């Protein structure tokens, strides 16, 4: 069983069925088709506002295009040092923007600390033209550690961004999980809290390959159609991309799928937290569980066929990710095994302790 990443999950059956249905005869290319028009409307309805939406097939593309819209080549973009934008895109934002600087910041629970942001901004402003122009802040929602920003937290970051003449980007690769968890509306978590451009993710949560750049602030949309095209993300048979997004949003499918992933994560977290010698590291606010456990326990689970990642740079921090397809009964089987292994280990240690001295 795979807890490595929601990236490795299948596509939701609803989405594959919609693809099949969209495959009837010819359709105008490059987004001039009816399915794409409907998808655009669906986004406007979901976010309760006018907006522009540009489908892409990867989060790297969504993030990089977003940053290129918010930052000139001579600009700087602030984000948390754990953010995908900085640590996992192989320099995509730098490439798309023509060499903007991505400035990694520290902060608890993978969230940008407002004070740190203010200090970094002020230091950069002090340097004048010898430094890049502060241009954007990027938040990950949910974060790389599976935590979420509450609307108030986003608004605070937004105020700092505005004050420094910067735009606000949200990397919403797991936005569905955050929306479902917080129980607020998509609008409240994005444009109403000050987000200008959103990387909207669907792939991790049931699409085959579908993300989107969503621009809430029309002033930020100029030129995006051409950037999208020249970067190779304007699909000729756009309907197949659009139908994934349309189906994803329709009847709140996205939130239902995220709900399943979140509930599986809750079950996982509760169980792991009760294991002897294990400790859940961060609040589980989306579909990721970070757990510190003895490597022999992890090894035992892996030998039994369970897959999950050791967190880079650590020795005993493990990440387990659930998805819409993770069944709670499977989680229970996993936890039962974990319990047996943990208890066995503990007994062994006790035994060793008894033997040893």
Residue in 37, 48, 98, 352 binding a second copy, rule: CB under 8 A: 98
Stretch that binds a second copy, among 120-128, 174-182, 274-282, 298-306 (CB under 8 A): 120-128
Residue in 90, 315, 354, 356 binding a second copy, rule: CB under 8 A: 90
Residue in 36, 46, 60, 190 binding a second copy, rule: CB under 8 A: 60
Stretch that binds a second copy, among 96-104, 140-148, 161-169, 274-282 (CB under 8 A): 96-104
CB of 310 to a second copy, least distance (A): 10
Give the footprint of a second copy on residues 219-278 (CB under 8 A). 223, 225-227, 229-237, 240-241
Stretch that binds a second copy, among 175-183, 204-212, 245-253, 265-273 (CB under 8 A): 204-212
CB of 64 to a second copy, least distance (A): 6
Stretch that binds a second copy, among 129-137, 153-161, 296-304, 347-355 (CB under 8 A): 129-137
How far is the C-alpha of 175 from the C-alpha of 213, rounded, in Å? 13
CB of 320 to a second copy, least distance (A): 13
| 279 lines the binding site for a second copy (CB under 8 A) | no
Give the footprint of a second copy on residues 14-43 (CB under 8 A). 16, 19-20, 23-30
| 112 lines the binding site for a second copy (CB under 8 A) | no
Q: How many residues does the chain have?
A: 357
CB of 4 to a second copy, least distance (A): 8
Residue in 147, 177, 203, 247 binding a second copy, rule: CB under 8 A: 203
CB of 135 or CB of 158, closer to a second copy: 135
| 62 lines the binding site for a second copy (CB under 8 A) | yes
H, E, C per residue of the chain:
CECCCHHHCCCCHHHHHHHHHHCCCCCCCCCCCHHHHHHHHHHHHHHCCCCEEEEECCHHHHHHHHHHHHCCCCEEEEEECCCHHHHCCCCHHHHHHCCCEEEEECCHHHCCCHHHHHHHHHHHHHCHHHCCEEEEEEEECCCCCCCCCCHHHHHHHHHHHHHCCCEEEEEECCHHHHHHHHCCCHHHHCHHHCCCEEEEECHHHCCCCCEEEEECCHHHCCCHHHHHHHCCCCCCCCHHHHHHHHHHHHHHHHHHHHHHHHHHHHHHHHHHHCCCCCEECCCCCCCEEEEECCHHHHHHHHHCCCECEECCCCCCEEEEECCCCCCHHHHHHHHHHHHHHHHHHHHHHHHHHHHHC
CB of 94 or CB of 246, closer to a second copy: 94
CB of 135 to a second copy, least distance (A): 10
Pairing of strands 133-140, 167-172: parallel
| 305 lines the binding site for a second copy (CB under 8 A) | no
| 302 lines the binding site for a second copy (CB under 8 A) | no
Give the footprint of a second copy on residues 139-198 (CB under 8 A). none
Which phi and psi angles does 319 have, rounded to 5°? -110, 130
Count of residues that interact with a second copy, criterion CB under 8 A: 78
């Amino acid at each position: 069983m795979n807890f490595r990443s929601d990236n490795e999950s299948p596509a939701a059956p609803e989405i594959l069925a919609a693809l099949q249905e969209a495959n009837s005869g010819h359709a105008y290319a490059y987004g001039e088709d009816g399915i794409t028009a409907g998808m655009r409307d669906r986004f406007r309805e979901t976010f309760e506002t006018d907006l522009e939406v540009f489908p892409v097939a990867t989060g790297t593309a969504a993030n990089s295009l977003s940053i290129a819209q918010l930052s000139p080549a001579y600009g700087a973009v602030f984000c948390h040092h754990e953010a995908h934008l900085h640590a996992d895109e192989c320099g995509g934002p730098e490439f798309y923007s023509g060499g903007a600087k991505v400035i990694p910041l520290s902060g608890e629970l993978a969230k940008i600390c407002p004070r740190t942001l203010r200090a970094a901004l002020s230091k950069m402003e002090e340097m004048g033209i010898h430094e890049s122009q502060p241009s954007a802040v990027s938040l990950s929602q949910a974060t790389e550690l599976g935590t979420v920003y509450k609307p108030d937290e986003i608004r605070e970051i937004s105020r700092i961004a505005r004050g420094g003449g910067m735009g606000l980007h949200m990397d919403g690769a797991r936005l569905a999980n955050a929306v479902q968890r917080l129980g607020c509306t998509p609008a409240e978590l994005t444009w109403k809290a000050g987000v200008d451009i959103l990387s909207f993710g669907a792939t991790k949560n049931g699409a085959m390959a579908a993300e989107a750049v969503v621009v809430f602030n029309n002033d930020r949309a100029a030129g995006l159609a051409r950037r999208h095209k020249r970067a190779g993300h304007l699909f000729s048979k756009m309907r197949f991309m659009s139908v994934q997004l349309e189906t994803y949003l329709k009847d709140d499918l996205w939130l239902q799928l995220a709900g399943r992933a979140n509930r599986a994560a809750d079950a996982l977290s509760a169980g792991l937290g009760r294991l002897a010698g294990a400790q859940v590291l961060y609040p589980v606010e989306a579909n990721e569980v970070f757990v510190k456990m003895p490597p022999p326990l992890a090894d035992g689970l892996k030998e039994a066929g369970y897959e999950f990642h050791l967190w880079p740079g650590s020795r005993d921090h493990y990440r387990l990710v659930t998805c819409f397809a993770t069944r709670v009964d499977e989680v229970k089987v996993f936890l039962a095994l974990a319990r047996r292994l943990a208890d066995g280990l503990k007994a062994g240690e006790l035994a060793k302790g008894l033997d040893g001295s």
